[in-house]
Chain A
Amino acid sequence: MTQTMTPAPSSTGGMQSALTASKLPRWVPAATLVGSVAVVWMLFALMGTANLAGVLVVSAIVFSVVLYALSLAIEGRRKAADRIATILVGVAFLLALIPLISVFYTALTLGAGRFDAEFFSSSMRNVVGAGGGAIHAITGTVLITLATAVISIPIGMLTAIYLVEYGTGKLKAAITFLVDVMTGIPSIVAGLFAYALLSLFLGPGVRMGIGGAIALSVLMIPVVVRSTEEMLKLVPNELREASYALGVPKYLTILKVVLPTSIAGIVTGAIIAIARVIGETAPLLIIAGFTTSMNYDLFSDRMMTLPVFAYTQYAQQGADAQAYIDRAWTAALALILIVMALNLVGRLIAKLFSPKLAR
């Protein structure tokens, strides 16, 4: 027989100690929410003015007030303030989510109608009414974006490597400042820059895909520099020192220790940067122009892109206006899906290839 006192297992629930405080049961917030929505909705119905937005806003206010009062009465000031803060954060999150969901939902419902095989297999050549597709725009977007990536990623990465690994003093400060300035350049200015640059060599009125790539590069390079810089800064200095201490020269240390350690983040940053510029419209409108035909050549003639396609379909509706509007929404939907896919690929790469730095 043992003499030790063992506390009864149930005592943790019921017994009061100096450290337990009165607490609202877990179901109270949910019940308050349901209750306030129901009451407000009934009141609105009685007054004969039931509309969804009004009910939601008023019941959110009623819910906050009731829960705050309940909490203040039972749990005290600190917990009540916590409840209010939780509600505010939640509401802010929902508000931020509304435009995203709304845009995606609208694009999905309005764009689904023409999201068919013809849209992804034919161009707009000789199409004036219904039918037709955006294969020429998709091709153009892919080509121009690829060319942009080919120009921007090496320049951006090398700049970032210079800034983090080599740069000192005034030159580094100047480059950092210029990159900051570049981040803020309006996209239309980038388009005008590309136009001005090409027309220096090829005369006025020039339109070609590579010009679009140059304009987009102006927008993409600073994003790549910033993201790569942040990733390189995350590589612990101890790893560089460990490599130097083994008698490894600096360039090999960067190539074989610093870059492999941060490559997942760098690739993710580059993909996010691509996703950022792939939806640009204004510069492409100026320098890549618009066309209804397929063009595989970046270096001659106008080249259609998806955002410009959506714009022209909407802006220049023909006799059968609905067909044009449908195509514009489908192009928007396709663009959203491409950007989403790019973001997902970026996250996947970050997750799969990042080294385990945790200690």
Chain B
Amino acid sequence: MSKRIEVSDLNVYYGSFLAVEDVSLTIEPRSVTAFIGPSGCGKSTFLRTLNRMHEVIPGARVEGEVRIDGDNLYGPGVDPVLVRRQVGMVFQRPNPFPTMSIKENVLAGVKLNNRSISKSDADALVEKSLRGANLWNEVKDRLDKPGSGLSGGQQQRLCIARATAVSPDILLMDEPCSALDPISTLAIEDLIEDLKKEYTIVIVTHNMQQASRVSDKTAFFNIAGTGKPGKLIEYDQTATIFTQPSVQATEDYVSGRFG
């Protein structure tokens, strides 16, 4: 399953501070969309509004609409827990649960929600998710070892396996490779290419080569100055953004003339 995301006139506030102003865009199912832009321009903040994770920070609130296949995330009576079951997330730093084994980490979404699952189903789900994350062959002999014993790149793929094991419709990735070496980064990028067949993927990255390698469409965010809100400057096909962007700021940013 894969769903379309439509964002219209979205403002994100931290308390009274307007962090992201007036974003409207549509993300197609089964595509990879990259968010690029300088630090502090609100890419991550905006990404976190797509599964209501920004609410974890006290004082954060949102005006506007985010529709996932037509359902407004911010409608009255919407349970953020149910939103997050449909919209998975992978974080900047790999964060496997330290008290759990590799297998338990993959099953965390099921087990933590007190859902019962038969042992054969659990084993099948673990294998499917780890295969999906290109990690199965590396860990199949040590599924009961702690997840924190893996290398950084392996931990990040474990986190991706954990996120996909609850079969979300959309996968958000907040700089998933920024803590990883080039080889692990390549493994994750290959994985994103595979995951695209089943999920809508949104990825925040500081690495413009990465954005041009993995994404179909790219959104460029920018900020006028410190204390000003971040804005969506340009959103287009990745090839267009990187070769003939229509806004000067985008061209300056992708060509390295800025910042």
Binding site for B on A (CB under 8 A): 168, 236-249, 252-253, 256-257, 260-261, 355-359
Known: A253-B112, A257-B112, A356-B146. A245 touches B97 (CB 8 A): no
Which residue, of B81, B86, B88, has the highest number of chain A Cβ atoms within 10 A?
Answer: B81
Q: Shortest distance in angstroms between A359's beta carbon and chain B's nearest beta carbon?
A: 7
A350 to B88, CA, bound (A): 34
B63-96 contacts to A (CB < 8 Å): 81-82, 84-86, 88-89, 91, 93, 95
A253 to B99, CA, bound (A): 13
Q: Does A246 lie within 8 Å of B88, measured CB to CB? A: yes
Known: A240-B56, A242-B91. A247 touches B84 (CB 8 A): yes
CB contacts (< 8 Å) of B58 on chain A: these are 168
A252 to B56, CA, bound (A): 15
A253 to B111, CA, bound (A): 11
Whether B8 sits at the interface, judged by CB under 8 Å, is no
Q: Does A248 lie within 8 Å of B98, measured CB to CB? A: no
Whether B62 sits at the interface, judged by CB under 8 Å, is no
Contact partner of B97 among A242, A244, A247, A249, CB < 8 A? Answer: A242
Mark the stretch among B13-21, B125-133, B159-167, B226-234 that contacts chain A.
B159-167
A356 to B97, CA, bound (A): 10
Q: Shortest distance in angstroms between B176's beta carbon and chain A's nearest beta carbon?
A: 13
Q: Can you pick out 25 interface pairs between chain A and chain B where the beta carbons lie within 8 Å of each other?
A: A168-B58, A237-B56, A239-B98, A241-B89, A241-B95, A242-B97, A243-B108, A243-B112, A244-B53, A245-B88, A245-B163, A246-B85, A246-B108, A246-B112, A247-B166, A248-B108, A248-B112, A248-B113, A249-B113, A252-B112, A257-B99, A261-B98, A356-B146, A358-B148, A359-B148
Q: Does A355 lie within 8 Å of B109, measured CB to CB? A: no
Q: Shortest distance in angstroms between A88's beta carbon and chain B's nearest beta carbon?
A: 40
CB contacts (< 8 Å) of A355 on chain B: these are 98-99, 146, 148
A236 to B163, CA, bound (A): 19
Known: A239-B97, A256-B112. A246 touches B56 (CB 8 A): no
Contact partner of B98 among A247, A249, A256, A356, CB < 8 A? Answer: A356
A357 to B146, CA, bound (A): 10
Q: Shortest distance in angstroms between A272's beta carbon and chain B's nearest beta carbon?
A: 22
CB contacts (< 8 Å) of A168 on chain B: these are 58
A241 to B47, CA, bound (A): 14
Contact partner of A247 among B82, B99, B146, B159, CB < 8 A? Answer: B82
Q: Which residue of A lies closest to B109 (CB)?
A: A246
A238 to B53, CA, bound (A): 12
Q: Does A261 lie within 8 Å of B113, measured CB to CB? A: no
Q: Shortest distance in angstroms between B202's beta carbon and chain A's nearest beta carbon?
A: 13
Beyond the given pairs A245-B53, A245-B91, 12 more chain A to chain B contacts, judged by CB atoms under 8 angstroms and listed by A's residue number, are: A168-B58, A241-B95, A245-B51, A245-B84, A246-B108, A247-B109, A248-B108, A252-B112, A261-B98, A261-B99, A356-B148, A359-B148
A293 to B159, CA, bound (A): 62
* Binary contact readout B18-29 vs A (1 if CB under 8 angstroms, 0 otherwise): 000000000000
Q: Shortest distance in angstroms between B116's beta carbon and chain A's nearest beta carbon?
A: 14
Q: Shortest distance in angstroms between A44's beta carbon and chain B's nearest beta carbon?
A: 59
Known: A246-B162, A252-B113. A238 touches B108 (CB 8 A): no
Q: Does B91 lie within 8 Å of A241, measured CB to CB? A: yes
Which residue, of B97, B112, B114, has the highest number of chain A Cβ atoms within 10 A?
Answer: B112
Q: Does B109 lie within 8 Å of A248, measured CB to CB? A: yes
CB contacts (< 8 Å) of B95 on chain A: these are 236, 238-239, 241-242
CB contacts (< 8 Å) of B114 on chain A: these are 252
Q: Shortest distance in angstroms between B92's beta carbon and chain A's nearest beta carbon?
A: 9
CB contacts (< 8 Å) of A357 on chain B: these are 98, 148
Q: Shortest distance in angstroms between A327's beta carbon and chain B's nearest beta carbon?
A: 47
CB contacts (< 8 Å) of B163 on chain A: these are 245-246
Q: Which residue of B lies closest to A262 (CB)?
A: B99
Q: Does A246 lie within 8 Å of B84, measured CB to CB? A: yes
A238 to B94, CA, bound (A): 9
CB contacts (< 8 Å) of B108 on chain A: these are 243, 246, 248
